[in-house]
Amino acid sequence: MGIDFLILMKHEWLLIAIIFILLFIKVGSKEWKNESILNLINILLLFNCIVGFFWNEGGILFNEMFKTDALIAAEKNILNLGTYIISLQSYSWLKNHKHVLEFYMLLLSTLAGMFFMISAGNLLMFYLGLELSSIPLAAIANFDLEKRKSSEAAFKFIISSAFSSGLLLFGISLMYGATGTIIFSELSQQLNGSPLQIFAFILLIAGFAFKISAVPFHLWTADVYEGAPVAVTSYLSVISKGAVLFVFVSVLYEVFKPLAETWYNVLFLLSVLTMIIGNLFAIRQNNLKRFLAFSSIAQVGFILIGISGNSQTGAASVVYFVLIYIFSNLGAFGVISLVSALTGKENIDDYKAFYKTNKLLSWVLAISLFSLAGIPPTAGFFGKFFLLMAGAGQGNYLLITIAALNMIVSLYYYLKVVKAIFMDTNETPIEKITIPSLPKLALFICMAGIVLTGLMSYVYEYIFSLISAF
């Protein structure tokens, strides 16, 4: 206790402090203009992002309820950075919104929930973190208050997340019954592979699979992504998915190590289904948000291959890929959110001949899609390469072959969008869009991220060195 307790929980403290600053501004009598609030918040978030990189120490607090180390701090920094980018991107949408302060309070409390979840050392904190990161998110999915689609998306999200946490909780309760503890470190010693434990464990995985929208638990994804405001969609598809993936890796690798054979088989099945179904549906979509939803389902399939590697390379490649995925997906979403905030157009057909009018935005979108598809000079290629390397470590070449075939299919539909932008003709292309300075900064960060994380091998080596569990 004492001072180290402030330093170890620094990420969480900062977020809660920002939430309370916003709360006091809200209940205060002074009326603020939206622009000045947004500027203030972005400065606070930048500060939060920068402080995250300093004074990182490892340690355990509150009887193993909270643990942190260099890897966890790095994961939190990645999420902080992603949230900052999203905040910059949603500037045009929030500028005219009535509830900016509430939006940020809820957004940051979900981020705090993810941090608690990543740092959780027992099942209770893990569950609370998960709920804190999903209930307020359902509320902000409804922030396009007049749109029916937005409310429906919010309801679908909250019911499916309640259902998934019901499965997860049933698994947790059986696990508690079979082992007698909720602390991770004691739990892993009590695992003996009896059928009931395996069943409880599979229920747990089903809960996780819902959150990362792996097939067959993906049914909510496309609807929610389409209906929610773009800022929330990009947050859902990148940040909350990334956070759950980080926890998934650490829970599987550290807590459920004794059941490694079981979860390898489950992950094999999930990843094959997820890649195939995600890709098949992505081909058919015409709405860009739905398209990105299904393509992000397919990406999760690749990430599951990396996780199934069960090695230091596996963990490192997942963290590395999530970092790249944040840059590339947010690059794509950044362009879409600009276009949809100003013109309301979201269909792929509307983007035909987009290059004629918006050269810069077209290039950003194209590079992001290249990176998502995994085309060599971009970072996405290296990310997928490391994931497949990690998966190949298990010696299951059938899985790698399926993944390679799926990469080719995904190449087809990503290039279809790029073709629409650059080559197709259109009588009424989207008019020229002037990019406000903050979203421009966000796009710049994304582009720099895509190029630099790919070219500098230092990033991967650094993440690799943080993982000490093996």
Among 82, 129, 374, 439, binds another protein (CB under 8 A): 129
Among 32, 185, 188, 199, binds another protein (CB under 8 A): 199
Q: Min. distance of Cβ 109 from another protein in angstroms?
A: 4
Q: How far apart are CA 325 and CA 98, in angstroms?
A: 31
The smaller minimum CB distance to another protein, of residues 163 and 385, is found at 163
**Cβ neighbours around 71 below 10 Å, total:** 22
The smaller minimum CB distance to another protein, of residues 58 and 177, is found at 177
Q: Min. distance of Cβ 105 from another protein in angstroms?
A: 6
- For residues 15-34, b (16+ Cβ closer than 10 Å) or e, as one string? beebbeebeeeeeeeeeeee
The dihedral sign for the CA sequence 90, 375, 404, 320: negative
Among 219, 423, 448, 452, binds another protein (CB under 8 A): 219
Helix (H) / strand (E) containing 401:
helix 397-422
Angular region, 193: left φ>0, alpha ψ -120 to 50, beta rest: left
x-marked contacts with another protein along 325-364 as a string, rule CB under 8 A: ----------------------------------------
Helix (H) / strand (E) containing 59:
strand 59-61
Q: Min. distance of Cβ 161 from another protein in angstroms?
A: 9
For tokens 């990406």, name the residue: 299
Q: Min. distance of Cβ 382 from another protein in angstroms?
A: 34
Among 1, 30, 54, 398, binds another protein (CB under 8 A): 1
- For residues 298-331, b (16+ Cβ closer than 10 Å) or e, as one string? bbbbbbbbbbbbbbbbbbbbbbbbbbbbbbbbbb
- Region binding another protein by CB under 8 A among candidate stretches 48-56, 222-230, 233-241, 455-463: 222-230
* Nearest partner of 93 among 140, 45, 125, 59, judged by Cα: 140
**Residues of span 223-242 touching another protein by CB under 8 A:** 223, 226-227
**Residues of span 159-188 touching another protein by CB under 8 A:** 159, 162-163, 166, 169-170, 172-174, 176-178, 180-182
The smaller minimum CB distance to another protein, of residues 182 and 459, is found at 182
The smaller minimum CB distance to another protein, of residues 159 and 469, is found at 159
Q: Min. distance of Cβ 44 from another protein in angstroms?
A: 18
**Cβ neighbours around 112 below 10 Å, total:** 22
The smaller minimum CB distance to another protein, of residues 150 and 250, is found at 150
Q: Min. distance of Cβ 364 from another protein in angstroms?
A: 28
**Residues of span 7-66 touching another protein by CB under 8 A:** 16, 19, 61-63, 65-66
Q: Min. distance of Cβ 138 from another protein in angstroms?
A: 6
**Cβ neighbours around 5 below 10 Å, total:** 13
Half-sphere exposure of 213 (CA within 13 A, CB side): 25
Cβ atoms of 330 and 238 closer than 8 Å:
yes
Cβ atoms of 439 and 42 closer than 8 Å:
no
Q: Is 264 in the site for another protein (CB under 8 A)?
A: no
The distance between the two most distant Cα atoms of the chain, rounded to a whole number of Å, is 68
**Residues of span 293-312 touching another protein by CB under 8 A:** none
The smaller minimum CB distance to another protein, of residues 13 and 385, is found at 13
Q: How far apart are CA 325 and CA 81, in angstroms?
A: 12
CA 78 to chain CA mean position, Å: 10
**Residues of span 63-102 touching another protein by CB under 8 A:** 63, 65-66, 99, 102
DSSP helix/strand/coil, 94: helix
Q: Min. distance of Cβ 340 from another protein in angstroms?
A: 17
Instruction: Report in angstroms the alpha-carbon separations of 228 from 143, 156, 157, 245.
Output: 8, 11, 10, 22
**Residues of span 140-159 touching another protein by CB under 8 A:** 140, 142-143, 145-149, 151-156, 158-159
Extended strands (E) in 294-426: none
Among 14, 18, 37, 135, binds another protein (CB under 8 A): 135
Amino acid identity of residue 428, one-letter, is T
Residues in binding contact with another protein, number by CB under 8 A: 68
Q: State the residues that interact with another protein by CB under 8 A.
A: 1, 16, 19, 61-63, 65-66, 99, 102, 105-106, 109-110, 112-113, 116, 123-125, 127-129, 131-132, 135-136, 138-140, 142-143, 145-149, 151-156, 158-159, 162-163, 166, 169-170, 172-174, 176-178, 180-182, 194-196, 199, 219, 222-223, 226-227
